Amino acid sequence: MERFVLNETSYFGYGSREVLPQIIKQRNYKKVLLVTDESLIKCNVVQKVSEILAKANIKFRLFADIKPNPTVENVKEGLVQLKKVHADVIVAVGGGSVIDTAKAMAVIATNPQYKDVISLDGVANTKNKCLPIIALPTTAGTAAEVTINYVITDTKRHKKMVCVDPNDIPTVAIVDAELMESMPKNITASTGMDALTHAIECMITKSANSMSDMFAYQAIKDIYKYLPIAVKDGKNREAREKMAQAQYIAGMGFSNVGLGIVHSMAHPLGGRFDIAHGLANAMLLPTVMKYNLDSPSKPKFRLIAEAMGIDTKDLTDEQAGQKAIKAVEKLKKEIGIPEKLSSLGILESDLDVLSEDAMNDVCTPGNPRETSVEDIKKLYKSIL
Ligand SMILES: NC(=O)c1ccc[n+]([C@@H]2O[C@H](COP(=O)([O-])OP(=O)(O)OC[C@H]3O[C@@H](n4cnc5c(N)ncnc54)[C@H](O)[C@@H]3O)[C@@H](O)[C@H]2O)c1
Ligand SMILES: [Fe+2]
């Protein structure tokens, strides 16, 4: 049996955030907590939303104490704010870090037995749907607004906890590319590569099915075409809109079928070294694709190549796969993703613990090729 969980309602398009007051009023929400992060206040992204609320006379309290790779402490502080305002809805304006923190807060608000946050790690058996969330993503990457996952770092164990729970899904997503315009080049590039990783891992993961393939194919096609344009010219509206939608499409797919070891290997780089999630994925993606080409998912690499516009007519699956990997390598270079983990301060002596963590990650069982701690270590080493 296949199961698909998606938002109740989603809005797309430049300026679509204008619909926010109407949603709040129609659904009769009375007390709003606006969740975001400090840099989004500094670069005036939050104001693009808060001024709409103010114009509609909707009062809200602001919580912005969230760091990239958000922590258990961020969630606990958010819960304090949630209680203070007796919020009946969370409006989350931000990237994956903000939306994930909002999800954890919203889940605990209605399932208070998980208030330690740590017990939500993995697949939590929550009973109640979370507090309503209206999510407005400001990056084109994680698709946290449509996924049933959220990722919180337990700084004590240096672990990125991947929490999987259909009760966490935001009720409404407003995917307004205008909120993404202010992303600097490096964040556009790394978050976009996160979205491409979602789409490619979704295409080849063990549980992939014809519905998730459809999402993965379209997402790969649009991201491959529009990510370099969005990086080069952040004000290119078409590229921003296509990226905003494509990352959401990738999210609809992977959220319902899972990922693979690019993500397993990226998570400990975030948990132990606070490396940005998209950047970690971007650096690992082509190397892990090469490894996964030798798996039962090999024929899927032909679809990846075709989505990237490669003519595969006279190619074997192996040849098509090799071309797809080359294309990802070229894209990675073109948008300025660094090559070596050592340039981020990773040492050879770190690889044992990183590999152990990656092997135990919740995404590992979905990888199309059976793997091992030794193989994972070799993969890290090849880009050290
Ligand atoms: N829930 C999921 O399904 C899922 C999937 C993948 C990753 N994640 C998690 O999401 C987190 C990463 O999220 P992310 O990649 O969106 O980045 P992020 O939310 O960590 O943001 C990165 C930085 O970019 C800034 N930023 C965001 N939008 C901006 C904008 N429009 N203009 C200028 N600056 C902006 C932020 O303030 C922050 O400093 C990680 O913790 C990762 O593990 C979650
Ligand atoms: Fe991701």
Q: How far apart are CA 257 and CA 261, in angstroms?
A: 14
DSSP H or E stretch at residue 46: helix 45-55
Q: 379 in helix, strand or coil?
A: helix
Q: How far apart are CA 336 and CA 93, in angstroms?
A: 27
Q: Is the CB of 258 under 6 A from ligand 1?
A: no
Q: What is the dihedral of CA 372, 197, 326, 371, to 10 degrees?
A: 10
Query: pLDDT category, 143, cuts 50, 70, 90?
Result: very high
Query: CA-CA distances (angstroms) from residue 56 to 14, 18, 320, 332, 339?
Result: 19, 10, 53, 43, 48
Counting ligand 1 atoms within 8 A of each CB, the residue from 7, 35, 151 with the most, and so the one to mutate, is 151
Secondary structure in 3-state letters for 93-111: EECHHHHHHHHHHHHHHHC
Write the pLDDT tens digit of every residue in 297-342.
999 999 999 999 999 999 999 999 999 999 999 999 999 999 999 9
Q: Tell me what pLDDT residue 131 has.
A: 98
Q: Are 33 and 81 in contact (CB under 8 A)?
A: yes
Q: Tell me what pLDDT residue 148 has.
A: 97
Which residue has a Cα nearest atom 34 of ligand 1? 183
How remote is the CA of residue 309 from the centroid of ligand 2, in Å? Answer: 24
Query: CA-CA distances (angstroms) from residue 89 to 69, 85, 371?
Result: 23, 10, 42
Please name each of the domains of the chain with its CATH number.
9-180 (3.40.50.1970), 185-382 (1.20.1090.10)
Per-residue tokens: 358: 């990656």
The crossing angle, in degrees rounded to 10, of helices 237-257 and 210-232 is: 150
Per-residue tokens: 235: 């004000």
Secondary structure in 3-state letters for 134-199: EEEECCCCCCCCCCCEEEEEECCCCEEEEEECHHHCCCEEEECHHHHCCCCHHHHHHHHHHHHHHH
Q: Tell me what pLDDT residue 262 has.
A: 98
How remote is the CA of residue 294 from the centroid of ligand 1, in Å? Answer: 32
Q: Tell me what pLDDT residue 236 has.
A: 98
DSSP state of 259: -
Q: Tell me what pLDDT residue 343 has.
A: 97
Q: Tell me what pLDDT residue 149 has.
A: 96
Q: 208 in helix, strand or coil?
A: coil
Q: How far apart are CA 249 and CA 7, in angstroms?
A: 12
Query: pLDDT category, 218, cuts 50, 70, 90?
Result: very high
Q: What is the mean pLDDT of the chain?
A: 98
Report the chain's terminal Cα–Cα distance, integer Å. Answer: 41
- HSE at residue 112, side-chain half, CA atoms within 13 A, is 4
pTM above 0.75? yes
Cα torsion 103, 109, 111, 116: sign:
positive
Q: Is the CB of 186 under 6 A from ligand 1?
A: no
Contacts of 167 (CB under 8 A, 6+ apart): 107, 110, 111, 126, 127, 128, 129, 130
Q: Tell me what pLDDT residue 228 has.
A: 98
Q: Tell me what pLDDT residue 277 has.
A: 98
Counting ligand 1 atoms within 8 A of each CB, the residue from 97, 169, 188, 257 with the most, and so the one to mutate, is 97
Percentage of the chain lying above the pLDDT 70 cut: 100
Backbone angles phi, psi at 62, to 5 degrees: -105, 135
Counting ligand 1 atoms within 8 A of each CB, the residue from 38, 39, 46 with the most, and so the one to mutate, is 39
Write the pLDDT tens digit of every residue in 112-134.
999 999 999 999 999 999 999 99
Q: Are 145 and 7 in contact (CB under 8 A)?
A: yes
The radius of gyration of the chain from alpha carbons, rounded to an integer in Å, stands at 20
Cα torsion 248, 253, 258, 262: sign:
negative
How remote is the CA of residue 267 from the centroid of ligand 1, in Å? Answer: 14
Counting ligand 1 atoms within 8 A of each CB, the residue from 142, 194, 279, 284 with the most, and so the one to mutate, is 142
- Which ligand has the nearest atom to the CA of 160? 1
Q: How far apart are CA 364 and CA 221, in angstroms?
A: 25
Q: How far apart are CA 66 and CA 57, in angstroms?
A: 26
Percentage of the chain lying above the pLDDT 90 cut: 99
Q: Tell me what pLDDT residue 76 has.
A: 98
Q: Is the CB of 216 under 6 A from ligand 1?
A: no
Write the pLDDT tens digit of every residue in 326-383.
999 999 999 999 999 999 999 999 999 999 999 999 999 999 999 999 999 999 999 9
Q: Are 126 and 114 in contact (CB under 8 A)?
A: yes
Cα torsion 281, 283, 287, 293: sign:
positive
Give the residue from 104, 86, 100 showing the smallest Cα distance to 36.
100
Q: How far apart are CA 57 and CA 238, in angstroms?
A: 32
How remote is the CA of residue 196 from the centroid of ligand 2, in Å? Answer: 9
- Closest approach atom of ligand 1 to CA 160: 43
Q: Tell me what pLDDT residue 13 has.
A: 96
Per-residue tokens: 59: 């009062």
How remote is the CA of residue 156 from the centroid of ligand 1, in Å? Answer: 22
Residues for the chain: how many in total? 384
How remote is the CA of residue 202 from the centroid of ligand 2, in Å? Answer: 11
- Closest approach atom of ligand 1 to CA 97: 19
Which residue has a Cα nearest atom 35 of ligand 1? 183
**Mean per-residue pLDDT, 276-303:** 98
Q: Tell me what pLDDT residue 242 has.
A: 98
Q: Tell me what pLDDT residue 47 has.
A: 98
Cα torsion 318, 359, 188, 106: sign:
positive
Query: pLDDT category, 136, cuts 50, 70, 90?
Result: very high
How remote is the CA of residue 48 from the centroid of ligand 1, in Å? Answer: 18
Q: Tell me what pLDDT residue 222 has.
A: 98
Q: How far apart are CA 179 and CA 49, in angstroms?
A: 9
Q: Tell me what pLDDT residue 340 has.
A: 98
Which residue has a Cα nearest atom 31 of ligand 1? 180
How remote is the CA of residue 31 from the centroid of ligand 2, in Å? Answer: 31
- Which ligand has the nearest atom to the CA of 144? 1
